[in-house]
C-alpha cells in the first residue's frame, strides 16, 4: 500500500463529514488535503484510543519527531509513517507550516492534561489548536490570495469544533470529558454530574441552545471575513459548513437530546449537501 493509498483509506474509514468536503477538488489538492486530514486523524486517535496516558504522550512525542523528519528529509532523516511520507510530497508544493502541525499535536495533548474548561476563553484556546489551525492549513491547501482568508478559515475551524462538542456531549462524558465551560454550566443550572450521568432537563436544553447559538455566530463571522476573490478556492469549507449546519438543525429539531445518542447525517445526505453546495459555489 502506498502512502497515498493509506491516507485515502484512513479518510474513508473515518466516515467524517470532512471527507465529503474535498471529494470535488482537483486530484493534486485532493491528495494534499487527504494526507493532511489523515495526519489529523492519526494524532487524534492516539488520545482517543490509548488507555494509558504515558503511552499516549510517548506516541505524540513520536509524531513530533516524525514531523521534524518530514521537514528535514533533505538531510537524510526520512519519516517512517505512511502519512508522514505523504506529507513530504505535499510540502514540496504547498506551504504547510511545521510549527502549525506541531500546534495540532499540542492541542491533542491538551486532552491528556485536562478534561474540564473553566470558561470559554480556556475552551477557545483548545479549539484554536485542534481546529482553528486545521482550518488555516486547509486554506493553504485550497489556495488563497487575500490574507484575510486565514481569519475566515480560523473562525470556520472553531465553528466546526464547537459543533463537534455539541454533537458529542454524551460520548465525551462517557470518556470523563466535559467541553462545556464550567461557568456556563453554573449559569444554566446544570452540574457536571448531570452531564456525566446523562441527566437531561429543560436547563440542559437551554444550555445546549446557547452553545448552538454561539457556534452559529462563528459560522456567520467566518463567512463575513471571507474575501470575494477567494470564495471559489475555499468552496470545500462551504460544503463542510453546510453539512455541519444541517447537523445543528437536526440537533435543535431533536430538542438537543445529545446525552444518550450521537446525532448524525447519512452518507447519502452528506453527498447530496456536498454536491448542491459545490454547484452553488
Share of the chain above pLDDT 90, in %: 78
Considering 9-13, 73-77, 216-220, the range whose residues carry the highest mean pLDDT is: 216-220
CB count in 10 Å sphere of residue 159: 30
Mean pLDDT, residues 49-67: 93
- List, in order of start, the domains of the chain with CATH numbers: 1-113 (1.10.600.10), 116-281 (1.10.600.10)
> How do residues 136-153 score in pLDDT, each as one tens digit?
999 999 999 999 999 999
Mean pLDDT, residues 167-193: 96
Q: What is the pLDDT of residue 215?
A: 97
Q: Could you give the CA distance from residue 12 to residue 20 in angstroms, rounded to a whole number? A: 9
| Three-state DSSP state, 77 | coil
Q: How far is CA 196 from CA 48, 169, 200, 261, in A?
A: 18, 9, 11, 14
Q: Could you give the CA distance from residue 58 to residue 187 in angstroms, rounded to a whole number? A: 38
**What region, left, alpha or beta, does residue 181 occupy, with left being phi > 0 and alpha being psi -120 to 50 degrees?**
beta
Contact 198, 259 (CB under 8 A): yes
**C-alpha cell, 234:** 475555499
DSSP-derived letter for residue 72 is T
DSSP notation for 232-257: TTTHHHHHHHHHHHHHHHHHHHTTT-
**C-alpha cell, 55:** 503511552
Average pLDDT, the chain: 92
Question: In sequence order, which ranges of 168-266 are alpha helices (DSSP H)?
Answer: 169-173, 182-187, 192-196, 202-225, 235-253
> How do residues 61-106 score in pLDDT, each as one tens digit?
999 999 999 998 655 678 999 999 999 999 999 999 999 999 999 9
Contact 34, 7 (CB under 8 A): yes
Q: What is the pLDDT of residue 275?
A: 81
pLDDT above 80: residue 280: no
pLDDT above 80: residue 17: no
Q: Could you give the CA distance from residue 208 to residue 203 in angstroms, rounded to a whole number? A: 9
Amino acid at each position: 500500500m502506498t502512502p497515498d493509498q493509506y491516507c485515502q483509506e484512513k479518510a474513508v474509514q473515518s466516515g467524517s463529514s470532512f471527507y465529503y468536503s474535498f471529494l470535488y477538488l482537483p486530484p493534486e489538492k485532493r491528495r494534499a488535503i487527504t494526507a493532511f486530514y489523515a495526519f489529523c486523524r492519526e494524532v487524534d486517535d492516539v488520545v482517543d484510543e490509548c488507555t494509558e496516558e504515558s503511552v499516549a504522550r510517548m506516541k505524540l512525542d513520536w509524531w513530533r519527531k516524525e514531523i521534524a523528519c518530514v521537514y528535514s528529509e533533505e538531510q537524510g532523516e526520512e519519516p517512517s509513517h505512511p502519512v508522514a511520507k505523504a506529507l513530504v510530497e505535499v510540502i514540496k508544493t504547498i506551504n504547510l507550516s511545521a510549527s502549525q502541525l506541531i500546534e495540532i499535536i499540542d492541542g491533542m495533548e491538551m486532552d491528556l492534561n485536562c478534561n474540564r474548561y473553566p470558561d470559554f476563553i480556556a475552551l477557545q484556546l483548545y479549539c484554536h489548536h485542534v481546529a482553528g489551525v486545521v482550518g488555516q492549513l486547509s486554506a493553504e491547501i485550497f489556495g488563497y490570495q487575500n490574507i484575510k482568508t486565514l481569519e475566515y478559515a480560523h473562525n470556520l475551524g472553531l465553528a466546526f469544533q464547537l459543533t463537534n462538542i455539541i454533537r458529542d456531549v454524551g460520548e465525551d462524558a462517557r470518556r470523563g470529558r466535559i467541553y462545556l465551560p464550567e461557568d456556563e454550566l453554573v449559569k444554566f443550572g446544570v452540574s457536571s454530574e448531570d452531564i456525566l450521568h446523562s441527566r437531561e432537563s429543560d436547563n440542559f436544553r437551554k444550555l445546549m441552545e446557547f452553545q448552538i447559538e454561539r457556534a452559529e455566530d462563528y459560522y456567520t463571522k467566518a463567512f463575513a471575513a471571507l474575501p470575494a476573490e477567494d470564495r471559489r478556492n475555499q468552496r470545500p469549507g462551504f460544503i463542510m459548513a453546510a453539512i455541519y449546519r444541517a447537523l445543528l438543525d437536526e440537533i435543535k429539531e431533536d430538542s438537543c437530546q445529545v446525552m444518550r445518542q450521537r446525532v448524525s447525517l447519512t452518507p447519502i445526505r452528506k453527498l447530496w449537501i456536498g454536491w448542491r453546495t459545490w454547484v452553488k459555489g
